């Protein structure tokens, strides 16, 4: 049985969709409470709850006597610090380069169980006879990109990333040999929170080839997911050659 989405949450989702699509950008005024109440057929109290929650989450900024505005850039940089390998290497005075191995649109039928769970895609929505092949008529649910990051000409990180195609529709159009994936997502999507794990794993053959190391060599794998409105916007696996990379920080 499909769970009904509360009216205030539908309004929040619609506002976030307008921000993700670029219709409402940082600093723009959004529709008034009255206009939103009429659009969704709800009371102004319901609209007020949606706007109040988004303001508390620092997606929106409410200004007395002026209206409600998108506060996307302040929100992005306040809550989620996403490490950027390009910046890290350049800060260390090392030559940085990125090579895009592949990028593609991914339909629901092409997803494995892990990605369906991560992005909340109902397995029942995939037709029983669906194939893993892309069909021109199928709707993309995720975008996938694979990138090798180099330091001084040596591969240091292999990135596998999946992005919600509806939340960040122009992601797939970017040249990620020039544009950093994390930078682009931070600029376009109001990130709310994130979680990550780091594990030591033996490199599978494909990963070893990309990192130019022997198969089964030790690697450090960072798996990270970031959220907006309680839903995953992007999930990434970053494979690092164990003898060329370390994670550090300050307490």
State pLDDT tens for residues 128-178.
Answer: 554 455 444 578 999 999 999 998 999 999 999 999 999 899 999 999 999
Q: For residue 123, name the pLDDT band (cuts at 50, 70, 90).
A: low
Residue 234 has pLDDT above 60, yes or no: yes
Residue 208, Cα to own-chain centre: how many angstroms?
A: 26
Q: Are 149 and 85 in contact (CB under 8 A)?
A: yes
Spatial neighbors of 139 by CB under 8 A, at least 6 apart, are 107, 108
What is the distance between the alpha carbons of residues 63 and 143, in angstroms, rounded to a whole number? 36
Q: Are 208 and 244 in contact (CB under 8 A)?
A: no
Q: Kindly report the average pLDDT of the chain as a whole number.
A: 83
Buried b (16+ CB within 10 A) or exposed e, 154-185: ebbbbbbbbbbbebbbebbebebeeebbbebb
What is the distance between the alpha carbons of residues 39 and 52, in angstroms, rounded to a whole number? 18
Q: In angstroms, what CA-CA distances link 161 with 70, 112, 158, 192, 229? A: 27, 14, 10, 18, 20
* H helix or E strand, kind and range, residue 193: strand 193-202
- Can you give the pLDDT at residue 2? 47
- Can you give the pLDDT at residue 27? 82
Alpha-carbon dihedral 229, 231, 234, 237, rounded to 10 degrees? 130
**138 or 243, higher pLDDT:** 243
Cα three-residue angle 137-140-142, rounded to 5 degrees: 165
Residue 47 has pLDDT above 60, yes or no: yes
Q: Are 147 and 176 in contact (CB under 8 A)?
A: yes
- Can you give the pLDDT at residue 107? 93
- Can you give the pLDDT at residue 64? 83
Q: Are 102 and 92 in contact (CB under 8 A)?
A: no
Spatial neighbors of 189 by CB under 8 A, at least 6 apart, are 20, 76, 167, 168, 228, 233, 234
| Average of per-residue pLDDT across 219-226 | 92
Residue 52 has pLDDT above 60, yes or no: yes
Percentage of residues in the chain with pLDDT exceeding 90?
A: 45
pTM summary value: 0.66
Residue 202 has pLDDT above 90, yes or no: yes
| Average of per-residue pLDDT across 112-120 | 90
| Average of per-residue pLDDT across 79-93 | 67
Cα three-residue angle 116-237-57, rounded to 5 degrees: 70
Q: Which range among 54-58, 96-100, 143-147 shows the weakest confidence by mean pLDDT? A: 54-58
């Amino acid at each position: 049985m499909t769970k009904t989405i509360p009216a205030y949450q539908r309004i929040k989702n619609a506002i976030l969709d307008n921000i993700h699509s670029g219709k409402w950008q940082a600093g723009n005024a959004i529709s008034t409470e009255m206009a939103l109440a009429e659009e969704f057929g709800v009371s102004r109290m319901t609209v007020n709850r949606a706007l109040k929650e988004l303001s508390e989450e620092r997606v929106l900024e409410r200004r007395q006597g002026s209206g409600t505005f998108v506060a996307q850039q302040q929100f992005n940089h306040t809550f989620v610090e996403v490490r950027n390998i390009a910046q890290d290497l350049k800060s260390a005075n090392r030559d940085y380069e990125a090579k895009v191995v592949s990028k593609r649109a991914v339909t629901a039928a092409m997803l494995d169980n892990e990605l369906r769970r991560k992005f909340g895609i109902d397995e029942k929505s995939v037709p029983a006879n669906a194939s893993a092949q892309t069909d021109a008529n199928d709707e993309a649910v995720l975008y996938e990109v694979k990138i090798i990051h180099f330091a001084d000409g040596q591969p240091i990180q292999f990135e596998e990333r999946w992005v919600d195609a509806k939340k960040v529709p122009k992601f797939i159009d970017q040249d990620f040999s020039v544009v950093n994936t994390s930078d682009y997502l931070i600029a376009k999507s109001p990130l709310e929170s994130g979680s990550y794990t780091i594990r030591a794993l033996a490199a599978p053959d494909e990963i070893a080839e990309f990192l130019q190391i022997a198969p089964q060599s030790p690697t450090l794998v960072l798996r990270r997911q970031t959220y907006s409105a309680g839903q995953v916007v992007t999930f990434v696996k970053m494979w690092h050659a164990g003898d060329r990379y370390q994670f550090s920080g300050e307490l």
